[in-house]
């Protein structure tokens, strides 16, 4: 038996609770992992609170991330005692996830944890930091160098935004952070932001082509915010888009892409090939200062994750929440 959060939906309604679960209830998988840490992402919060149609089958253990140790494996790539990380692949949505003390998963979804990164820090980074790293790599591939000019990061106080700022700063870029929380300017400055702007300057409908302000952008917001960022990118710049907090729509024109040669780079962190995942995590091990991880994250016990999910939906959570599933 082990502890885990279980989401249920029946005639009594939709609910999430911490329960004692049997290993026999776990879905079939190549690898059984003893989970050390998971984390609380916005998608997890939507699943736990029922505020979004995230869960595709019931009952479901949420948690799109986890880090732990292999306990049993039927796959040659992994053996008992090895540390592993999982991000995405529909875990916590279609397949039982990491907000539990055990997980049984497809071996193809796992990667080996970097040697010099603890399981706790891996989950402090989680999908948010991994996605931020994918965005930075995409901008690098698009030819955006530190001397190209400012990089704007939207949703700056969120997990992706926070890590994007820290990584870009470490690599020598000058970062402009867009946030709706002006009282947290000191936090963003400590991460490496050189300038802070109010998100309201980007979130309303804007002109299809605007003054050139930034060499590139990382956007986790979507909708009008993404449209305005694209409209303000300098010639031959690029925007890495990885989120839709404001909305799924993109009320933009083709003007920035045709008249300025701006590139819009879609970032799908859920189903990247293993080679790309390994590369991103190895970059995180070298390009993300450990002290930044501590500044961005805080730890909670498994029993506190449901309440924290409601706080996250309400916009009351800064940075990353690490869940110690064994506490």
Across residues 188-214, what is the average pLDDT? 96
User: Where residue 35 falls among pLDDT bands split at 50, 70, 90?
Assistant: very high
Exposure string for 211-230, b = 16+ CB within 10 A, e = fewer: ebbbbbbbbbbbbbbbbbbb
- Please state the pTM of the whole predicted model: 0.93
Give the chain's mean pLDDT. 95
d(CA 182, CA 159): 17
- Judged by average pLDDT, the poorest of 108-117, 142-151, 231-240, 315-324 is 315-324
d(CA 201, CA 223): 13
pLDDT in tens, 248-284: 999 999 999 999 999 999 999 999 999 999 999 999 9
pLDDT in tens, 216-227: 999 999 999 999
Question: Residue 27 pLDDT more than 80?
Answer: yes
d(CA 284, CA 288): 5
User: Where residue 152 falls among pLDDT bands split at 50, 70, 90?
Assistant: very high
pLDDT in tens, 167-199: 999 999 999 999 988 788 999 999 999 999 999
Residue 323 is predicted with a pLDDT of 97
Residue 123 is predicted with a pLDDT of 97
Residue 213 in contact with residue 232, Cβ under 8 Å? yes
Four-CA torsion 166, 128, 137, 268, nearest 10 degrees: -160
Residue 317 is predicted with a pLDDT of 80
Residue 318 is predicted with a pLDDT of 72
User: Where residue 138 falls among pLDDT bands split at 50, 70, 90?
Assistant: very high
Question: Residue 161 pLDDT more than 90?
Answer: yes
pLDDT in tens, 64-99: 999 999 999 999 999 999 999 999 999 999 999 999
- For the chain, domains (ranges, CATH) are 2-113+292-324 (3.90.180.10), 127-266 (3.40.50.720)
Across residues 7-24, what is the average pLDDT? 95
Residue 39 is predicted with a pLDDT of 95
Helix/strand/coil for 324: strand
Share of the chain above pLDDT 90, in %: 88
Across residues 151-177, what is the average pLDDT? 95
d(CA 185, CA 157): 9
């Amino acid at each position: 038996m082990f502890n885990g959060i279980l989401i249920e939906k029946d005639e009594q309604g939709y609910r999430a609770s911490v329960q004692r679960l049997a290993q026999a209830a776990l879905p079939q998988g190549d690898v059984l992992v003893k989970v050390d840490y998971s984390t609380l992402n916005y998608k997890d919060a939507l699943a736990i609170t029922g505020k979004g149609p995230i869960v595709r089958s019931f009952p479901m253990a949420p948690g799109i991330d986890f880090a732990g140790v292999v306990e049993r494996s039927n796959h040659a790539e992994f053996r008992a005692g090895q540390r592993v990380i999982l991000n995405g692949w529909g875990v916590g949505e279609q397949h039982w996830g990491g907000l539990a003390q055990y997980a049984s998963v497809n071996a193809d979804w796992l990667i080996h944890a970097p040697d010099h990164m603890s399981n706790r820090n891996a989950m402090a980074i989680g999908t948010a930091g991994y996605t931020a790293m994918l965005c930075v790599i995409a901008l690098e591939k698009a030819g955006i160098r530190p001397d190209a000019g400012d990089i704007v990061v939207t949703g700056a106080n969120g997990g992706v935004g926070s890590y994007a700022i820290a990584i870009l700063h470490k690599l020598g870029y000058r970062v402009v952070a867009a946030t709706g929380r002006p009282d947290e300017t000191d936090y963003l400055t400590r991460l490496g932001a050189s300038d802070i702007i109010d998100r309201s300057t980007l979130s309303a409908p804007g002109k299809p082509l605007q003054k050139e302000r930034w060499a590139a952008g990382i956007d986790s917001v979507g909708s009008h915010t993404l449209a305005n960022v694209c409209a303000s990118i300098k010639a031959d710049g690029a925007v890495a888009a990885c989120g839709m907090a404001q909305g799924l729509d993109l009320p933009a024109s083709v003007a920035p892409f045709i008249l300025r040669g701006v590139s819009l780079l879609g970032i799908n962190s859920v189903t990247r090939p293993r080679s790309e995942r390994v590369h991103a995590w190895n970059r995180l091990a070298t390009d993300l200062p450990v002290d930044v991880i501590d500044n961005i994250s805080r730890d909670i016990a498994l029993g506190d994750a449901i309440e924290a999910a409601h706080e996250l939906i309400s916009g009351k959570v800064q940075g990353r929440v690490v869940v110690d599933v064994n506490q």
